[in-house]
A and B are shown apart, each in its own frame.
Chain A
Amino acid sequence: MAKITIMGNMATALGAKLSRPDVVPAYPITPSTLFPEKISEYIADGEMDAEMIRVESEHSAMSACIGASACGARVCTASASQGIALMSEMMFIAAGMRLPIVMAVGNRALAAPINIWCDHQDTISQRDTGWLQFYAERNQEGLDLMIIAFKVCEDKRVLLPGMVGIDAFVLTHTTEAVDVPEQELVDEFLPKYKLELSLDPNKPMTFGSFGTPEFYQEFKYTQVKAIEKSSDVIDEVFAEFKKKFGREYRKIMPYKCEDADVIILTMGSMSGTARAAVNKMREEGKKVGCCKLTVYRPFPGKELMDLTKNARVIAVLDRDISPGFGGALYGEVSAQFVNEPKHPLITDYIIGLGGRDVLIENFEEIYDKSMDAVKKGRVEKPVEWINMNQEVL
């Protein structure tokens, strides 16, 4: 393996290239633009044998992905923010038609006000489309998760699309050292793909046709069963990836959680800063740990419960907001525990929206607030906003 220094967008583009897609329809958008640029460069330089389709919008990009994928091609694309919002209609269709398309995302806030920086609103808002969702902490994970996503999504027990999120700028435009797997090993790990049922003029078939009330619910049920099944497939693929490439992935990666009073739950690039904050607080004698959620869909609720059930507080960090409720992750973590007779207190912290930096001192504040709930025995304010600029409020 060769270790090189590259930006996050190049890491996901390399992950895509190593996965040998047949078709890449894409429409550029900040901060993901480098992805289609690199793919077209690879194709022009003869390093990649794929068809790049330049389209007039993200809606068309996803439409082209669906058509190509239904013909049995291995397909990937990239987008972000407003682009994903525009794709949304077709994303439901990709999942309903059970097409294993893989998308690299540069996680970016949604307008208005217009903002090109990092948060997770774009993909969290698409959580009900039926796509698998992976989130990377660093560029290496961005590359690896692209390859992993293809293998999971194309598994016969799954056959669903999936997306890999890398945080806008914090990863997309940050250069880091990345181990690039050898093509031969990736080919062994991810062999040529064959969709058993695909569009073929010699054997006509319809995809995504009318689903009347007699059948629609059963269609949805089998689709949901497939994403539930993907949970075990992800574990298998993670294990195989570790064996082949030496790097370990888990749906939730715990850090110093065994004896922790407070467990901080994070997604994406802030997970590294969380570990640094945990190390600092541990030196001060605070019993705190953190968990990094790499797989958001399917939601790894059981694993989360096993890792956090002995904590006194789970501090959920949401880089997203469901207006009128709170953070999306908070709702899901809470639902997981609600039928348990005894469970930790659960608090929600809205943080880092629109590219606001997530700092070590923010984690310290979150720990203090969470311990305050422990002392009081109850959570007075379940959803709190962290690091607010009070001057403009």
Chain B
Amino acid sequence: MEEELYEVRFHGRGGQGAVTAATILADAAFREGKDVQAFPIFGVERRGAPVAAFMRMDAKPIDIKTQIYEPDSIVVLDSTLLEVVDVAKGLKENGKIIINSSKNASEFDFGKAKVYTIDATAIAVKHGLGTKTNPIVNTAILGAYSKAVGNVSIEAIEEAINEKAPRKKEENKKAAREAYEKIRGG
């Protein structure tokens, strides 16, 4: 897997930091020697509206500049999106879905996809990231990604948070590490 092109799609709501999550994951993969791209869904973003962001990584230089239609894994920052967006659209067979939810992974059914859950909201609130009503969950969910997918180390994600998180770097790193340890499912 490490030698091949790997693509991730993030689902969130405007203001939740899906684009920053994609950017931090790309920076982390870059720190481990990969060529990377991270980009928002090209368009106008509104606070609260469903948004998507993308990350592409490869051990070889990446030539392709298209958007991502068939991701290898999917990260859902807000489980209320499951009712309004077909989050699994285009997911490769045996792909992985990581959902921010307090439920068990077994409570979700996405066919052959492997489902993981992490209560990133509780972790974000615990570490004082965002507010209780608007927690910033993007760094916690990246810790979960690291454990579930295994192609970007938690150490690289911590380094990338250090570089890219605009504030509360230590709290964000702790949130990522806690999610890395607590993720369920697979």
Q: Is the CB of B42 within 8 A of A117?
A: yes
Q: Is the CB of A357 within 8 A of B66?
A: yes
A169-B39 contact given A5-B30, A175-B23, A177-B30, CB 8 Å threshold = yes
**A275 contacts across to B, CB distance below 8 A:** 63
Is B35 an interface residue when CB atoms closer than 8 A count as contact?
yes
Proximity string of chain B (28-46) to chain A, C-beta cutoff 8 Å, 1 when within and 0 when not: 0010000111111011100
User: Which size class do B's interface residues fall under?
Assistant: 20 to 34
Q: Is the CB of B23 within 8 A of A273?
A: no
Question: Number of A-B pairs whose CB atoms are under 8 Å?
Answer: 60
Complex CA distance for A118 and B66, rounded to whole angstroms: 12
Q: Is the CB of A359 within 8 A of B66?
A: yes
A176-B64 contact given A117-B42, A170-B42, A355-B42, CB 8 Å threshold = no
Is A360 an interface residue when CB atoms closer than 8 A count as contact?
yes
Is A174 an interface residue when CB atoms closer than 8 A count as contact?
yes
Proximity string of chain A (328-369) to chain B, C-beta cutoff 8 Å, 1 when within and 0 when not: 000000000000000000000000000101111000000000
Proximity string of chain A (151-177) to chain B, C-beta cutoff 8 Å, 1 when within and 0 when not: 000000000000000001110011111
Q: Is the CB of B36 within 8 A of A175?
A: yes
Complex CA distance for A177 and B22, rounded to whole angstroms: 14
Complex CA distance for A270 and B67, rounded to whole angstroms: 12
Q: Is the CB of B37 within 8 A of A176?
A: yes
Q: Is the CB of A175 within 8 A of B37?
A: yes
A273-B36 contact given A5-B30, A175-B26, A355-B42, CB 8 Å threshold = no
Q: Which interface residue of B40, B64, B66 has the most chain A CB atoms within 10 A?
A: B66
Q: B30: shortest Cβ distance to chain A, in Å?
A: 5
Complex CA distance for A176 and B26, rounded to whole angstroms: 8
Q: Is the CB of B36 within 8 A of A176?
A: yes
**A169 contacts across to B, CB distance below 8 A:** 39-40, 42
Q: Is the CB of B40 within 8 A of A272?
A: no
**B30 contacts across to A, CB distance below 8 A:** 3, 5, 177
Q: Is the CB of A173 within 8 A of B42?
A: yes
Q: Is the CB of A170 within 8 A of B65?
A: yes
Q: Is the CB of A273 within 8 A of B65?
A: yes
Q: Which interface residue of B39, B43, B62 has the most chain A CB atoms within 10 A?
A: B39
Complex CA distance for A176 and B22, rounded to whole angstroms: 11
**A304 contacts across to B, CB distance below 8 A:** none
Q: B10: shortest Cβ distance to chain A, in Å?
A: 13
**B23 contacts across to A, CB distance below 8 A:** 5, 175
Complex CA distance for A169 and B39, rounded to whole angstroms: 8
Within 8 A of A (CB), among B45-69: 62-67
Proximity string of chain B (165-178) to chain A, C-beta cutoff 8 Å, 1 when within and 0 when not: 00000000000000
Is A276 an interface residue when CB atoms closer than 8 A count as contact?
yes
The residue on B at minimum CB distance from A275 is B63
Is B27 an interface residue when CB atoms closer than 8 A count as contact?
yes
Complex CA distance for A221 and B6, rounded to whole angstroms: 53
Q: Which interface residue of B42, B43, B44 has the most chain A CB atoms within 10 A?
A: B42
The residue on A at minimum CB distance from B160 is A5
Within 8 A of B (CB), among A101-117: 116-117
Proximity string of chain A (130-170) to chain B, C-beta cutoff 8 Å, 1 when within and 0 when not: 00000000000000000000000000000000000000111
Proximity string of chain A (87-123) to chain B, C-beta cutoff 8 Å, 1 when within and 0 when not: 0000000000000000000000000000011100000
Q: With A273-B65, A360-B64 given, name 14 new contacts (CB 8 A).
A: A3-B30, A118-B42, A173-B40, A174-B37, A175-B26, A175-B37, A176-B37, A177-B30, A272-B63, A273-B64, A275-B63, A276-B64, A279-B63, A357-B66
Residues of B within 8 A of A (CB): 22-23, 26-27, 30, 35-40, 42-44, 62-67
13 pairs, A vs B, C-beta closer than 8 Å: A3-B30, A5-B23, A5-B27, A5-B36, A117-B42, A169-B40, A169-B42, A173-B42, A273-B63, A273-B64, A355-B42, A358-B65, A360-B66
